[in-house]
Chain A
Amino acid sequence: MASGGDPKWQKDAADQNFDYMFKLLIIGNSSVGKTSFLFRYADDSFTSAFVSTVGIDFKVKTVFRHDKRVKLQIWDTAGQERYRTITTAYYRGAMGFILMYDVTNEDSFNSVQDWVTQIKTYSWDNAQVILVGNKCDMEDQRVISFERGRQLADQLGVEFFETSAKENVNVKAVFERLVDIICDKMSESLDADPTLVGGAQKGQRLTDQPQGTPNANCNC
Chain B
Amino acid sequence: MDFQNRNNTANKFVCPSDRQLALRAKLKAGWSSSKSSEPLRPEEQEAIISVIRRNEEIEVAERLRVGRLVERVEKIKQHAVERGPNCCRLCGDTFGLLRGHRIICEDCRQAVCTKCSLDINIRYHTSEKSREIWLCRICSETREMWKKSGAWFFKGLPKYDIPRSASATPTPTPCIGGTMAGDTRAVQSCHGTPTRPARIKKLTIRVNDSSSSSSHSEPEDEVDGGPAGASASNGSASGTGGISKSGSTTGGRLQRDDSFRLRAYGSIRSFIDGGERKLSNSFFFGRQQSHRPSECPDYDSVSMSSKLRRESSFLRRGSVSSSWSISDSSGSGNSGNSHTTQSQSQSQAQSTTQSQSQSQPYHQQQQQHCRDPLLGWLEIAISYREAFHSLDCTMVRARDLPAMDAAGLTDPYCKLNIITPEAHTKYTRWQRTKTVHKTRNPEFNETLQFVGVEPEELGNSLLYVALFDDDKYGHDFLGAAKVCLSTVHSTTQYRISVPLGAEDQYSNAAEMSQNWPNGKMLLSLCYNTKRRALVVNVKQCINLMPMDNNGSSDPFVKIQLKPDAHKNKKHKTSVKWRTLNPIYNEEFYFEASPHDLNKEMLILTVWDKDLGKSNDFLGSLQLGAQSKGDRLQQWLDCIRLPDHFHEKWHCLAPDNPAH
Contacts and interface: CB of A to CB of B under 8 A. Distances in A.
Contacts of A118: 27, 29
Consensus secondary structure, chain B interface: helix
Contacts of B182: 199-200
Given A21-B150, A114-B27, A204-B189, A86 B125 contact: no
Interface in B125-154: 125-127, 131, 133, 139, 142-143, 146-148, 150, 152-154
Contacts of A57: 51
A81 B37 CA distance: 8
B54 A95 contact: no
Contact of B142 (A12, A197, A219): A197
Query: In the complex, which range does the number of interface residues on chain A fall in?
Result: 35 or more
A198 B7 contact: no
B363 A213 contact: yes
A200 B31 contact: no
B350 interface: yes
Contact of B108 (A186, A201, A213): A201
Given A84-B30, A124-B153, A55 B51 contact: yes
A173 interface: no
Contacts of B186: 200
Interface string A1-31: 0000000000010011001111000000000
B27 A121 contact: yes
Interface string A208-220: 0111110111011
Interface stretch (B58-66, B219-227, B488-496, B508-516): B58-66
A12 B65 CA distance: 12
Contact of B29 (A84, A124, A197): A84
A24 to B, nearest CB: 12
Given A84-B34, A95-B153, A216-B371, A186 B185 contact: no
Interface string A114-127: 10011001001010
A178 B466 CA distance: 49
Interface string A171-194: 000000000110111111111001
B109 interface: yes
Given A54-B48, A121-B27, A20 B181 contact: no
Contacts of A170: none
A56 interface: yes
Query: In the complex, which range does the number of interface residues on chain B fall in?
Result: 35 or more
A125 B443 CA distance: 61
Contact of B366 (A15, A21, A93, A213): A213
A92 interface: yes
A22 B353 CA distance: 58
Q: Which of B107, B152, B182, B208 has the most CB of A within 10 A?
A: B152
A194 to B, nearest CB: 5
A63 interface: no
B108 A205 contact: yes
B24 A121 contact: yes
Interface string B195-230: 011001001100110000000000000000000000
A74 B65 CA distance: 19
A46 interface: no
B27 A90 contact: no
Interface string B453-472: 00000000000000000000
A6 to B, nearest CB: 19
Contacts of B110: 205
Interface in B338-389: 350-351, 353-354, 363-364, 366-367, 370-371
Contacts of B109: 205
A191 B122 contact: yes
Contacts of B310: none
B14 interface: yes
A219 B352 CA distance: 14
Given A121-B23, A184-B124, A89 B14 contact: no
A194 B147 contact: no
B194 to A, nearest CB: 13
Contacts of B366: 213, 217
A209 B367 contact: yes
A126 B366 CA distance: 45
A216 B185 CA distance: 24
Contacts of A105: none
B106 A194 contact: yes
Interface of B: 3, 7, 10, 12-14, 20, 23-24, 27-31, 34, 37-38, 40, 44, 47-48, 51, 54-55, 58, 61-62, 65, 106-110, 122-127, 131, 133, 139, 142-143, 146-148, 150, 152-155, 177-178, 180-182, 185-186, 189, 196-197, 200, 203-204, 207-208, 350-351, 353-354, 363-364, 366-367, 370-371
8 contacts: A55-B48, A56-B48, A186-B147, A191-B133, A194-B106, A197-B107, A205-B109, A212-B367
5 cross-chain pairs, A with B, having the tightest CB-CB distances, nearest first: A199-B181, A219-B204, A220-B350, A55-B48, A82-B37
Interface of A: 12, 15-16, 19-22, 54-58, 60, 66, 73, 81-82, 84-86, 88-90, 92-93, 95, 114, 117-118, 121, 124, 126, 180-181, 183-191, 194, 196-201, 204-205, 209-213, 215-217, 219-220
